[in-house]
Structure 1
Amino acid sequence: MSWRDIERAMEEADVVLEVIDSRFPDITRSRKLEKMTKERGKNLVIAMNKVDLVPRDVAERWIWRISKEFPVVPVSARKRLGTMRLRRFLKRYSPAVVLIAGFPKVGKSSIINVLKGRHSASTSPVPRSPGYTKGFTKYRIEKGLYIIDSPGIIPPEGSGFEAVVRGAKADLVDMASSLILTASKISPGLLKRAYGVAEESPEEVLSAIARKRGFIFKSTGELNLSEAAKVLLEDFYRGKISFFMIPEKTP
Structure 2
Amino acid sequence: MVKKSKKSKSKRVPLRKKYKIQRKVKEHHKKKAKEAKKLGLKQKHKVEKDPGIPNDWPFKEQELKALEARRARAVEELVQKKAARKERAQKRKLGLLEDDDISRLADGAKGSDNSVGVGKNRDNSDRAFYKELVKVIEASDVILEVLDARDPLGTRCVDMEKMVMKSGPDKHLVLLLNKIDLVPRESAEKWLKYLREELPTVAFKCSTQEQRSNLGWKSSSKAAKAAKPSNILQTSDCLGAETLIKLLKNYSRSHEIKKSITVGIIGLPNVGKSSLINSLKRCHVVNVGATPGLTRSMQEVQLDKNVKLLDCPGVVMLRSGESDASIALRNCKRIEKLDDPIGPVKEILKLCPAKLLVTLYKLPTFDSVDDFLQKVATVRGKLKKGGIVDVEAAARIVLHDWNEGKIPYYTMPPTRNQGEPLEAAIVSELGKEFNIDEVYNSETTFIGSLKSVDDFNPVEVPSSHPLNFDEKMLEVCVLF
TM-score, scaled relative to structure 1: 0.83
Q: Aligned AA for 2:380?
A: R
1:72 Cα deviation (Å)?
1.0
Decide which structure has greater helix share: 2
Q: Within 5 Å, which residues of 2 pair with 1:196-207?
A: 196-197=362-363, 198-199=365-366, 201-207=368-374
Match of 2:326 among 162, 165, 169: 162
Output the amino acid matched with 2:146.
Answer: V
Provide the secondary structure at the position in 2 that maps to 1:25: coil
Q: Which whole-Å CA distance do the structure 1 matches of 2:356 and 2:338 have between them?
A: 20
2:161 & 2:344 partners in 1: Cα distance? 27
- Tell whether 2:148 aligns with 1:148: no
Per the alignment, residue 130 of structure 1 pairs with none
Contact 2:278 2:285 in 1 (8 A): no
Please list, as runs of the form range in 1=range in 2, the aligned pairs for 1:84-103 lying within 5 A after superposition.
84-94=242-252, 95-103=260-268
SS in 1 for 2:265: strand
Q: CA deviation at 1:160?
A: 4.5
Task: Point out the more displaced range, 58-67 or 154-163.
Answer: 154-163
- C-alpha spacing 1:75/1:53, structure 2 compared with 1 (3 Å): same
CA contact (8 A) 2:344 2:399 kept: no
- CA positional deviation for 1:180: 4.3
Show the counterpart of 1:126. none
Match of 1:84, as an amino acid?
Answer: E
Kindly provide the amino acid, as one letter, of the partner of residue 391 in structure 2.
L
RMSD: 2.7
State the 1:31 CA deviation: 0.5
Structure 1 counterpart of 2:430: none
**Residue type at the aligned position of 2:179:** K
Identify the residue that residue 240 of structure 2 maps to in structure 1.
82
2:197 is aligned to 68
Do the aligned residues in 2 keep the contact of 1:191 with 1:200 (CA within 8 Å)?
no
Q: TM-score, normalised by structure 2?
A: 0.45
CA contact (8 A) 2:331 2:403 kept: no
Checking the alignment, whether the CA contact within 8 Å between 1:120 and 1:142 is kept in structure 2 is no
How far apart, in 2, do the equivalents of 1:105 and 1:43 lie? 23
Alignment-derived partner of residue 37 in structure 1: 164
Give the counterpart of 2:403 among 224, 237, 251: 237
1:135 is displaced (CA, Å) by 2.8
DSSP-derived class of the 2:192 partner: helix
Residue 55 and residue 39 in structure 1: after superposition, are their counterparts in 2 closer, same or farther (change >3 A)? same
Is this contact kept in 1: 2:146–2:175, CA < 8 A?
yes
Q: Quote how far apart the aligned CAs of 1:195 are.
A: 1.3
2:154 is paired with a residue of what secondary structure? Answer: helix
Is 1:174 the counterpart of 2:340? The answer is: yes
* C-alpha contact 2:178 2:271 (8 A) present in aligned 1: yes
CA distance in 2, matches of 1:71, 1:175: 37
For the Cα contact (< 8 Å) 1:21–1:28, is it kept in 2? yes
1:5-28 C-alpha deviation (Å, 9 max, x unpaired): 201221111111111111111110
* Letter matched to residue 107 of structure 1: G
Please state whether the residue corresponding to 1:246 is helix, strand or coil.
coil
SS of the residue corresponding to residue 143 of structure 2 reads strand
Residue range with higher mean Cα deviation, 51-60 or 167-176: 167-176
The answer on whether the counterparts of 2:174 and 2:200 sit within 8 Å (CA) in structure 1 is yes
Asked whether the equivalents of residues 173 and 225 of structure 1 are also in contact (C-alpha less than 8 Å), the reply is no
CA deviation profile, 1:164-183 (whole Å, cap 9, x unmatched): 21422466473453244245
The structure with more radius of gyration: 2
Q: Which amino acid aligns with 2:204?
A: V
Contact 2:266-2:311 within 8 A present in 1 as well: no
The yes-or-no answer on 1:223 pairing with 2:389 is yes
User: 1:224–1:91: structure 2 CA closer, same or farther, 3 Å change rule?
Assistant: farther
Q: Residue 59 of structure 1 corresponds to which residue in structure 2?
A: 188
Distance, in Å, in 2 between the alignment partners of 1:106 and 1:135 is 16
**Which sits farther off after the overlay, 174-183 or 5-14?**
174-183
Q: Deviations over 1:140-187 (max 9, x none)?
A: 10121000134x212153225431214224664734532442453355
Aligned residue-pair number: 237
Asked if the contact 1:184–1:200 (Cα under 8 Å) also holds between the matched residues in 2, the reply is no
The 3-state SS of whatever aligns with 2:264 is strand
Name the residue aligned to 2:472. Answer: none
- Asked if residue 248 in structure 1 is aligned to residue 410 in structure 2, the reply is no
How many percent of aligned residue pairs carry the same amino acid? 32
Work out the CA distance in 2 between the residues paired with 1:147 and 1:203: 46
Q: Report if the CA contact (8 A) 1:192-1:200 is conserved.
A: no
Corresponding residue for residue 131 of structure 1: none
CA distance, structure 1, for counterparts of residue 154 and residue 400 of structure 2: 18
Cα distance in 2 for partners of 1:224, 1:33 equals 39
Amino acid corresponding to residue 375 of structure 2 in structure 1: A
Give the match for residue 111 of structure 1: 276
8 Å Cα contact 1:195-1:208 kept in structure 2: no
Structure 2 residues without counterparts, runs of 5 or longer: 1-125, 209-235, 253-259, 287-295, 419-480
AA aligned opposite 2:384: F
Say whether the 8 Å CA contact 1:172–1:226 is kept in structure 2.
no
Query: Which stretch shows the higher mean deviation, 192-201 or 179-188?
Result: 179-188
